[in-house]
C-alpha cells in the first residue's frame, strides 16, 4: 500500500514511492502526488501530473494485474518534471485506437498530448513508463487538455469506423480539421463571417504562442 506502510524516499529533486497496484490505492497515490507537488511548489501541475500517474498505474492494474508491485518516481530539473512508473513486467504498452481501449486507453492518448515527451524503457527487472511535463507550460497544457477532450468527444460522435482509420496525432489532426470546418458552417449559419473568425482565432493563437 501507499502511505505509512511503505517508506517514501524524498529529496529536494526526487520522490520515490513503492506501492501495490490496486484500484482502491489510486486515490492514495494521487494524494501522495499532490502533497509532493505542493512540497516542490508545483501546485499548478496537480491536474496534469495526477492524470499521468493515474493513467500509468491503471495500465499496470489492467495489463500486469491487480496487486502487482510497482514504484512511482518523480524528479525535476529546472525545466521539466519527470514521472516514471516501474513494474516487474517487460511487456511494453502501445497506443491503440481509443474505441478499442476503453477509459484507460483514452487516457494514454491524452497523456501523449499533454506531455512534452513520453516513452518506455525495459529494465533488468521489468519496465518503466515515463513522461516529462514542462514546468513553464501549465497554461498550454490546460489548453491542450481541453482541445483533446473536445476532439475525443467530437470524434466519438463520428462513430468507431472513422476512428480506426489512422492513429495518434494524425487522427487528432483530421478530427481538428473536421471540427473547425463544422464550426465555420455554424458561424455562417448564424450570419457571421467564417473568414473573420479564422483571422481572430489565428491572432489569438499567435499572441498566446509569443507570450509562452
Most confident stretch, 67-76, 135-144, 202-211:
67-76
- pLDDT tens track for 123-156: 889 999 999 988 875 556 566 666 766 776 776 6
Task: To the nearest 10°, report the CA torsion of 1, 15, 51, 173.
Answer: -140
What structural domains and CATH numbers belong to the chain?
3-137 (3.30.565.10), 139-211 (no CATH)
- Report whether 126 contacts 90 (CB < 8 A): yes
The predicted model scores a pTM of 0.60
Question: Which of these ranges, 10-14, 86-90, 196-200, has the smallest mean pLDDT?
Answer: 10-14
- Position 163 pLDDT exceeds 80: no
pLDDT for 107 equals 55
Average pLDDT over residues 193-202: 91
Asked whether the beta carbons of 163 and 154 are under 8 A apart, the reply is: no
Within 20-137, where are the H helices?
A: 26-40, 46-63, 98-114
pLDDT given at position 102 = 44
Query: Cα 197–166–117 angle (5° rounding)?
Result: 80
Residue 128 forms beta bridges with which residues? 86, 121
pLDDT band, residue 8 (cuts 50/70/90): low
Candidate from 86-95, 99-108, 202-211 with smallest mean pLDDT: 99-108
Starting at the edge strand found earlier in the chain, the sheet holding 68-76 runs 9-10, 14-21, 68-76, 80-87, 126-134, 117-123
Q: What is the pLDDT of residues 101-110, one digit of tens each?
A: 444 445 566 6
pLDDT the model gives residue 3: 45
Of 132, 169, 134, 130, nearest to 151 (Cα)? 169
For the residues of 123-177, what is the DSSP string, one character each?
ETTEEEEEEEEETT-HHHHHHHHHHHHHHHHHHHHH-HHHHTSS-HHHHHHHHHH
**In contact, 128 and 120? CB cutoff 8 Å:** yes
Residue 160 or 63, more confident: 63
**CB proximity list for 34: less than 8 A, separation 6 or greater:** 46, 50
Which candidate, 77, 72, 87, 165, places its Cα nearest to that of 123?
87
13-46, pLDDT tens digit by residue?
A: 899 999 999 999 999 999 999 999 988 888 888 8
Confidence at residue 165, expressed as pLDDT on a 0 to 100 scale: 35
12 has pLDDT over 70: no
Amino acid at each position: 500500500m501507499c502511505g505509512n506502510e511503505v517508506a517514501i524516499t524524498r529529496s529536494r529533486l526526487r520522490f520515490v514511492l513503492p506501492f501495490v497496484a490496486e484500484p482502491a490505492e489510486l486515490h492514495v497515490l494521487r494524494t501522495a502526488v499532490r502533497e509532493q507537488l505542493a512540497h516542490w511548489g508545483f501546485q499548478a501541475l496537480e491536474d496534469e501530473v495526477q492524470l499521468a500517474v493515474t493513467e500509468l498505474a491503471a495500465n499496470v492494474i489492467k495489463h500486469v494485474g491487480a496487486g502487482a508491485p510497482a514504484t512511482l518516481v518523480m524528479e525535476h530539473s529546472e525545466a521539466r518534471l519527470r514521472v516514471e512508473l516501474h513494474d516487474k513486467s517487460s511487456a511494453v504498452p502501445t497506443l491503440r485506437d481509443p474505441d478499442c481501449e476503453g477509459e484507460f486507453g483514452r487516457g494514454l492518448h491524452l497523456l501523449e498530448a499533454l506531455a512534452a515527451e513520453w516513452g518506455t524503457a525495459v529494465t533488468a527487472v521489468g519496465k518503466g513508463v515515463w513522461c516529462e511535463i514542462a514546468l513553464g507550460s501549465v497554461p498550454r497544457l490546460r489548453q491542450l487538455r481541453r482541445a483533446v477532450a473536445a476532439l475525443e468527444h467530437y470524434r466519438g460522435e463520428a462513430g468507431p469506423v472513422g476512428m480506426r482509420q489512422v492513429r495518434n496525432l494524425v487522427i487528432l489532426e483530421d478530427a481538428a480539421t473536421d471540427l473547425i470546418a463544422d464550426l465555420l458552417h455554424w458561424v455562417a449559419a448564424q450570419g457571421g463571417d467564417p473568414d473573420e473568425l479564422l483571422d481572430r482565432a489565428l491572432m489569438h493563437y499567435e499572441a498566446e504562442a509569443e507570450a509562452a
